[in-house]
Amino acid sequence: MAEKAYAKYAWILVFIPAFVLFVFPLASGWLSTSPEPDVIKGVTGITLDQIGAQNPGTGRLILELYHEFALTILAFGAVTMAIAAFPFRKGHRFAWYASWLAPALWAGITASLAILNAENPSAGSGLGPAPVFLSIVLIGVLGQLLPYRMFFPKRTMMGATPR
């Protein structure tokens, strides 16, 4: 009975990393004309405005890439939230496979920040709170693993039919 309850509500754990993905680009101002000034200065040594003053094409391209990334992450977050709330919750196996991508993306972000921090020690923690991101990864992984038997039931004498 207890096993069924944690499997039943594990979709909420899958929903959380997706929700943070959706909110993160908005909260971090990625869609503004000056996205993450600390990060850009930490990595390049100068601000985006200074890059644009040195070379307008490069400044423009960085801003465009930033905005494209922000839009993709925002949409990805929305799609992942819906997958968690509908097919994952219903126990559709494709949703279980697809939902691994959100914690994988957070793991990628955490690893990238760790590499950037190592390459740019002067930027310090300005490149993001890695422990927070790591806990988001763990929440997502937990949400995937807890309801494992809901998606892959043990074979009975009658056999199990995949959804």
Partner 1 sequence: MTSQVGKGYEKHAWILLLAAAIVLLVDGLLSLIESASPSIISEDLGVSWEQLVGSSPTIANFVLISLRAGGLSSFVMSVFVMSLSRKSYRKGERWAWYLLWLLPAFFVIYGLELVSAGFPPVSPLTVLGLPLSLLGLLLPYRKFFPKNQA
Does residue number 23 form part of the binding site for partner 1 (CB under 8 A)? no
Near partner 1 by CB under 8 A: residue from 23, 53, 71, 132:
71
| Residue 150 C-beta: closest distance to partner 1, Å | 17
Near partner 1 by CB under 8 A: residue from 23, 34, 53, 75:
75
| Residue 138 C-beta: closest distance to partner 1, Å | 20
Near partner 1 by CB under 8 A: residue from 34, 54, 124, 152:
54
Report the 10 Å Cβ neighbour count for 143. 24
Q: Looking at 5-13, 84-92, 135-143, 154-162, which segment touches partner 1 (CB under 8 A)?
A: 84-92
Report the 10 Å Cβ neighbour count for 130. 16
Q: Are the beta carbons of 143 and 12 closer than 8 angstroms?
A: yes
d(CA 81, CA 17): 9
Place of tokens 């499997």: 7
d(CA 84, CA 14): 6
Q: Are the beta carbons of 84 and 18 closer than 8 angstroms?
A: yes
**CB half-sphere exposure, 40, CA atoms < 13 A:** 20
Binders of partner 1 in range 87-116 (CB under 8 A): 87, 92, 94, 97-98, 101, 105, 108, 112, 116
DSSP code of residue 32: S
Does residue number 49 form part of the binding site for partner 1 (CB under 8 A)? no
Residues that bind partner 1 (CB under 8 A): 40, 43-46, 51, 54-58, 60-69, 71-73, 75-76, 78-80, 82-83, 86-87, 92, 94, 97-98, 101, 105, 108, 112, 116
